[in-house]
Amino acid sequence: MRIGLAADNGNWHKARLRGALESFGIEPVLFSLADVAIVTGGGEPLRVPGFEDGLPDGVLMRTIAGGTFEATTMRLGVLHALVSAGVTVWNSPTAIERSVDKAATSLAVARAGLPTPDTFVFSKREAAAELIAREAGPGRPIVLKPLFGSQGEGLMLIERPEELPPEDDVNRVYYLQRYVPRRDGLWRDYRVFVCEGRPIAGMIREGDGWITNVHRGGRPFAWNVPAKAAELAEAAAASIAVDYTGVDLVEDGEGGFLVLEVNSMPAWSGLQQVTEVDIAASVVRGFLGAVRAARPPRLVASQA
């Protein structure tokens, strides 16, 4: 199989995925979506580095190169073009678009009827301020999140309308979600890693503050994922149609869980510290299985 591994940063994850591919007998071609070109006038117009004589059979996505809105749009367009040409892409561009955009994620999760904190998305500061005045207050904050943020970056707790940043500071999108505190006062949430539609590992994340991401100093602990959390994580992954994902959950205070986020390019270095499951190997095994399923072997007719 001709396999590409799209990874621009994150050397630990890149090395784990590359090592897992090699353990299955695959020598992947590492490339960046930023280096893919479109050239018409002869042959396949999509030019992927390392595949000069055609397109890969599969592309495993680890990261999408950052850049302007136009650059990101082109790179997602490249992934759509690969899919339309019959290339297996994990995660698919549609799943990436749904999960990288928190508003699209909330919409899909809500339409699937899954429990999630009350969420409000506005383009105007005036509308956001009215919501804060009505729903928030001292000790009852609303979380403001960047629409395209990750790893706990840029989060704010808002209690008063005047605390809202100007429209330009949030790229004219206010993504607001009700803060759900724990009854015991601990700063704790949960991550369930789902691959091929089933949970394969989970962890508790605890922090010294309300942001518990391991990247921001949160501490991972082993977690035997209960059935309620496993079923919710499965359903959340299905609502986004994502092949592998990290689903973030928080307790609802009534014995259940709420979906916070569904990540299409999840980090798992913290999770790998507290689970015996080889996350990279699980992802690669599922990905290669999907590539094989998309390209069944040709049967050679026997000759009399």
Q: Return the CATH number at 83.
A: 3.40.50
Q: What is the distance between the alpha carbons of residues 46 and 42, in angstroms, rounded to a whole number?
A: 11
Range of the domain at 149: 119-178
Tens digit of pLDDT for each residue in 195-243? 999 999 999 998 877 777 777 677 899 999 999 999 999 999 999 999 9
Q: What is the distance between the alpha carbons of residues 260 and 249, in angstroms, rounded to a whole number?
A: 5
Q: What confidence score (pLDDT) does residue 261 get? A: 92
Same domain, 213 and 126: no
Same domain, 211 and 270: yes
Q: How many domains does the chain have?
A: 3
Same domain, 192 and 131: no
Q: What confidence score (pLDDT) does residue 110 get? A: 96
Tens digit of pLDDT for each residue in 29-68? 999 999 999 999 888 899 999 998 889 999 999 988 777 8
Same domain, 217 and 275: yes
What is the pTM (predicted TM-score) of this model? Answer: 0.90
Q: What is the distance between the alpha carbons of residues 160 and 290, in angstroms, rounded to a whole number?
A: 49
99 pLDDT above the threshold of 80? yes
**What are the two backbone dihedrals, phi and then psi, of residue 106, each rounded to the nearest 5 degrees?**
-60, -40
pLDDT-derived band of residue 148, with 50, 70 and 90 as boundaries?
confident
Same domain, 134 and 74: no
Same domain, 174 and 194: no
304 pLDDT above the threshold of 60? no
Least confident of 16-30, 197-211, 254-268: 197-211
Same domain, 159 and 242: no
Assigned domain for 244 exists: yes
Closest to 143 measured CA to CA, from 135, 151, 182: 135
Least confident of 100-104, 191-195, 299-303: 299-303
Q: What is the distance between the alpha carbons of residues 156 and 243, in angstroms, rounded to a whole number?
A: 30
Assigned domain for 215 exists: yes
**What are the two backbone dihedrals, phi and then psi, of residue 287, each rounded to the nearest 5 degrees?**
-65, -50
pLDDT-derived band of residue 296, with 50, 70 and 90 as boundaries?
low
Same domain, 139 and 200: no
